[in-house]
Amino acid sequence: MRVRLAFALGLAAAPLTAQNGNPRLAGRVPPAALPAIDSIIAAAVAESLPTEPLVQKALEGGAKNVPADRLVNGVRRGLLQLRAARVIVARAVPGQAPPEGHVAAVSAALARGLPAPIVERLLTVAPNEAPGPALHAAADLIAHRFDPDSAADLLVDAHNKGLRAGRLLDVAVAADHELQRGGGRSPSEALAHVRAMLPNVPFPKRP
Amino acid sequence: MSPIDPRLQEALDGERDPGELPTDLREAHARLIAAAQLVSGTPQLSVAARVMAEIRQNPARVEAGSPLLRSIRWLGRPVTVRLRPAWTLALAAGLAAILLLPFGPGGPVPGVTKFVGHFPGARSVEVVGSFNDWSRGALALNDDDHDGIWHADAVLPAGQHEYMFVVDGERWVPDPLAGRYVDDGFGEGQQNSLLIVRPAAAQP
């Protein structure tokens, strides 16, 4: 009887044991780093944050043979970035639980160095649209030496004129082309030129 | 109404032996007796009534088997479906739209990406990134004409992907043509290349 009871309890506990740790990380991450990474991912789950960016960061570190301590720090940095992103999303899109896709996209934008106020402004303009393309467009413009506020102004104008998703990336590409054009055009002149052509910015070339 | 022959009446009433009747009356007597037996027997039920009575008497024969077996029998039973051509075409168009058009925003819509890198003298080049869980050996570049320009086409899910080239199986190199980069977060200032894949349907 006791043997049967122990067997039954063992069967019942098996799924719980299997849930410990992310199976995608087994064999891909140094064993010394696994417990810490598991606890970071568990914290993200408890806080309703997306976990895929953390899993990806751990897989990346394992593939690159990053030492365990730096790998754990990299994943922990990812968690902090997700928390910061959720605060921004909650402020920009009040009255609803921050969508995981928004939080992940904002986290990625922060990692690219996009200032939080610019992120918040762009989220506020289109709270119910996937924010990734607009945020990347802004990050592209800033990376090409455009003033952050002017870049956000241009993207808001583009959105108001009907451009969405990938077409916002085309706005950033058009601005960069204008800047590269000969004749010593300044960034503000390049932005003004693109604003004048909205919403008819060129489509990208096929790969 | 024609009057019946008294001798036949007597035979029918049992007052006379039918054998004493003349031949024509004897045949008439036999027909009348047969008819009387039919009328006086158990009333015959209609076909529908008989079938229903059979079903009520033997329900197990009709409902035999478990629900699963009955379902399997039902699936195997041929049926006739009548379709209007217009409705059929509309149904086909709907199915085609579901299968061919991209899903909504955020869905797993693929886009085509071309990876190109200039690595003269390299023995192998591969792309490793978030689109393949940073797995080695999943996406190799080719340099068939040995000019040092390695390339590969890939269909990737729409969205943002971080990646790097791995040259000769050991050297991790950002894509010099990526145009977008992001710190990899491991504290040594190394940068991943950043790729934004657009849904194929969104491309002109």
**Are residues B133 and B192 part of one domain?**
yes
* B32-59 pLDDT tens trace: 887 776 655 444 555 566 656 665 665 5
**Are residues B192 and B132 part of one domain?**
yes
**Are residues B59 and B1 part of one domain?**
yes
Specify the 3-state DSSP secondary structure of B126: strand
Contact status of B194 with chain A (Cβ, < 8 Å): yes
Which residue in the set A66, A111, A206 is minimally distant from B203, CB to CB?
Answer: A206
Q: How far apart are CA A30 and CA A26, in angstroms?
A: 9
**Are residues B119 and B73 part of one domain?**
no
**Are residues B190 and B116 part of one domain?**
yes
* A47-87 pLDDT tens trace: 999 999 999 999 999 999 999 999 999 999 999 999 999 99
Q: How far apart are CA A161 and CA B91, in angstroms?
A: 36
**% of chain B surpassing 70 pLDDT:** 71
Q: What is the pLDDT of residue B64?
A: 57
* B73-99 pLDDT tens trace: 777 777 676 767 777 777 666 665 544
In a domain, B89, yes or no: no
In a domain, B161, yes or no: yes
Specify the 3-state DSSP secondary structure of A117: helix
Return the exposure string of B96-113: e unless at least 16 CB atoms fall within 10 Å of the residue's CB, then b: eeeeeeeeebeeebebeb
Q: How far is A5 from chain B (nearest CA, A)?
A: 34
**Are residues B116 and B73 part of one domain?**
no
Residue B165: pLDDT band by 50, 70, 90 thresholds? very high
pLDDT tops 70 at residue B103: no
* A11-45 pLDDT tens trace: 444 444 344 578 999 999 999 999 999 999 999 99
Indicate yes or no: CB of B162 within 8 angstroms of CB of A133.
no
Lookup: tokens for A66: 């990053």
In a domain, B175, yes or no: yes
pTM of the model: 0.68
In a domain, B105, yes or no: no
- Amino acid code (one letter) for B67: P
**Are residues B63 and B21 part of one domain?**
yes
In a domain, B45, yes or no: yes
Q: What is the pLDDT of residue A58?
A: 98
Q: What is the largest CA-CA distance in chain A?
A: 90
In a domain, B100, yes or no: no
Q: How far apart are CA B179 and CA B165, in angstroms?
A: 14
Q: Which domain covers residue B135, as residue numbers?
A: 110-202
Within 8 A of B106 by CB-CB distance, chain A residues are 101, 130
Domain end call among B57, B79, B101? B79
Q: What ipTM did this prediction achieve? A: 0.86
Burial of A193 (0-12, 13-18, 19+ CB in 10 A): middle
CB A138 within 8 A of CB A155: yes
Per DSSP, the residues of A166-188 read HHHHHHHHHHHHHHHSTTT--HH
Q: How far apart are CA A94 and CA B27, in angstroms?
A: 106
Domain end call among B35, B59, B79? B79
Q: Which of B109, B132, B186, B196 to mutate to test the interface with A (most CBs of A within 10 A)?
A: B186
Task: Give me the number of domains chain B comprises.
Answer: 2
In a domain, B49, yes or no: yes
**Are residues B133 and B60 part of one domain?**
no
Indicate yes or no: CB of B202 within 8 angstroms of CB of A78.
no
CB B129 within 8 A of CB A64: no
Q: How far is A104 from chain B (nearest CA, A)?
A: 10
- Average the pLDDT over B171-194 and give the result: 95
* Lowest mean per-residue pLDDT among B26-30, B31-35, B115-119: B31-35
* A99-152 pLDDT tens trace: 999 999 999 999 999 999 999 999 999 999 999 999 999 999 999 989 999 999
CB A172 within 8 A of CB A137: yes
Q: How far is A71 from chain B (nearest CA, A)?
A: 6
Q: What is the pLDDT of residue B190?
A: 94
Q: What is the pLDDT of residue B77?
A: 76
Reported residue count of chain A is: 207
DSSP B14: T
Indicate yes or no: CB of B160 within 8 angstroms of CB of A77.
no
Residue B112: pLDDT band by 50, 70, 90 thresholds? confident
Indicate yes or no: CB of A63 within 8 angstroms of CB of B183.
no
Q: What is the CATH number of the domain that holds B121?
A: 2.60.40.10
* Lowest mean per-residue pLDDT among A70-79, A186-195, B38-47, B135-144: B38-47
In a domain, B35, yes or no: yes
Q: Which of A64, A65, A163 to mutate to test the interface with B (most CBs of B within 10 A)?
A: A64
